[in-house]
Amino acid sequence: MIYSLDKINEMAEGDEDFVTSVVSVFLEEVPADLDGLEKAITERDYENVYKLAHKIKPNVDILGMEQTRARALEIETMGKNSASIEEIEEKFPMLKKDVLQVVAELKKDFDL
């Protein structure tokens, strides 16, 4: 398991509906943002690479996915600075793999 509910549970203060709500929002938004990020990378659209990586970052952070957050931050910074698209393409697959793994785990763990 590469995610942790510690941060969400701390915020929820025992409210299970809140936890489920946060997980549901993650499942709705992050795969779509990931698809958009992949498209932006393909199209060499640095502005959207930056924006979408920036949007993904807090969502993976709240699930305690520190390495994934660090990867999203790297991609965000590279998009902001119009870094080599090849470098971005090199970093993206691990971000995608981690996010998709967590999406699958959350769906299974929360029966969603």
24-63 tens-digit pLDDT: 999 999 999 999 999 999 999 999 999 999 999 999 999 9
Residues with Cβ within 8 Å of residue 91, at least 6 apart in sequence: 71, 74, 75, 78
| Mean pLDDT of the chain, nearest integer | 95
CATH topology of domain 6-107: Four Helix Bundle (Hemerythrin (Met), subunit A) (1.20.120)
Torsion 32-63-110-20 (CA) sign: negative
Torsion 26-76-41-98 (CA) sign: negative
- Cα–Cα separations (whole angstroms), residue 66 to 18, 61, 93: 22, 6, 16
- Domain residue ranges of the chain, discontinuous segments joined by +: 6-107
65-110 tens-digit pLDDT: 999 999 999 999 999 998 899 999 999 999 999 999 999 999 999 9
pLDDT of 17 over the 70 cut: yes
